């Protein structure tokens, strides 16, 4: 049976992502991996993380990478240097360093193309996958891209979300909190368990959620 995984925020933690994907999930090409954005910044190996995702796609694995606010800040900075201070304030410098760059204008075109190709949400049956969340008050929540990368909610009342579970990242939670949300069959399940932060506030895991079984697979931070 095809397995369906959602993977939380990576933030440059390449070694931890490698362990999660290749030694814990061990995907077949019939499986689907939905990645919830924020692959870059904060951690030291953003380029390696993006290369891993791109290589998996090129090798024929079913990877659905979504965009996060950090990918958006990178693109905004690339398109308009006036936006650069906001990105750097959010640890964009670590991504530049992983590419051996001082200036974002030198970022190779294939990476810019990759970031531009990322969708803001993905629907799979009765599940919606998004980096942050949706604008619950909007007539068409799927038209509000800013909310999809910045806004997180604990519940939704908009009729478009009826009988729908929302899986998101963006705001790191303790692993035990995520387990409770799953066990309580909550409508909204956050799966960013704060890998990049190490032991800070006990958020130090990279987590995946297998949708068919609702099993949480977590790897403790392996990156420096």
pLDDT of residue 169: 98
The two tokens of residue 101 are 């760059």
pLDDT in tens, 185-221: 999 999 999 999 977 656 799 999 999 999 999 999 9
pLDDT in tens, 67-96: 999 999 999 999 999 999 999 999 999 999
Q: Is the dihedral of CA 29, 71, 106, 49 positive or negative?
A: negative
State the residue range of the domain holding 101: 4-220
Locate the DSSP E strands across the chain. Answer: 4-7, 32-35, 62-65, 121-124, 127-130, 165-168, 188-190, 205-210, 215-220
Q: What pTM, to 2 d.p., does this model score?
A: 0.97
Q: Is the dihedral of CA 57, 29, 128, 189 positive or negative?
A: negative
pLDDT in tens, 123-175: 999 999 999 999 999 999 999 999 999 999 999 999 999 999 999 999 999 99
The two tokens of residue 3 are 């397995």
Mean pLDDT for all residues in the chain: 97
CA–CA separation, 88 and 175 (whole Å): 28
CA–CA separation, 198 and 69 (whole Å): 21
Domain count of the chain?
Answer: 1
The two tokens of residue 137 are 């008050």
Give buried/exposed letters for 112-135 (b at 16+ CB in 10 A, else e).
Answer: eebbeebebbbeeeebbbbbbbbb
Residue pair 107/99 in contact by the 8 Å Cβ criterion: yes
Distances (CA, A) of 198 to 21, 48, 91, 177: 19, 19, 16, 17
The stretch 15-26 carries a mean pLDDT of 99
pLDDT in tens, 27-66: 999 999 999 999 999 999 999 999 999 999 999 999 999 9
Question: Residue 193 belongs to a domain with what CATH number?
Answer: 3.60.21.10
């Amino acid at each position: 049976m095809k397995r369906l995984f959602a993977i939380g925020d990576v933030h440059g933690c390449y070694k931890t992502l490698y362990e999660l994907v290749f030694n814990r999930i061990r995907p077949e090409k019939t499986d689907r991996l939905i990645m919830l954005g924020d692959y870059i910044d904060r951690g030291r190996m953003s380029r390696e993380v993006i290369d891993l995702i791109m290589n998996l796609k090129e090798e024929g694995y079913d990877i659905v990478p979504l965009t996060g606010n950090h990918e958006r800040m990178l693109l905004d900075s690339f398109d308009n240097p006036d936006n650069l201070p906001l990105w750097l304030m959010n640890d964009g410098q670590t991504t530049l360093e992983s590419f051996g760059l001082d200036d974002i204008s030198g970022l190779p075109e294939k990476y810019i193309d990759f970031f531009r190709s990322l969708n803001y949400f993905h629907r799979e049956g009765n599940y919606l996958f998004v980096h942050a969340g949706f604008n619950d008050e909007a007539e068409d929540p799927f038209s509000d891209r800013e909310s999809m990368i910045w806004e997180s909610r604990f519940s939704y009342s908009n009729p478009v979300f009826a009988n729908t579970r929302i899986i998101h990242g963006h705001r790191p939670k303790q692993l035990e909190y995520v387990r409770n949300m799953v066990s309580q069959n909550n409508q909204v399940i956050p799966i960013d368990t704060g890998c990049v932060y190490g032991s800070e506030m006990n958020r130090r895991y990279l987590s995946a959620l297998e949708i068919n079984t609702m099993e949480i697979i977590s790897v403790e931070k392996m990156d420096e």
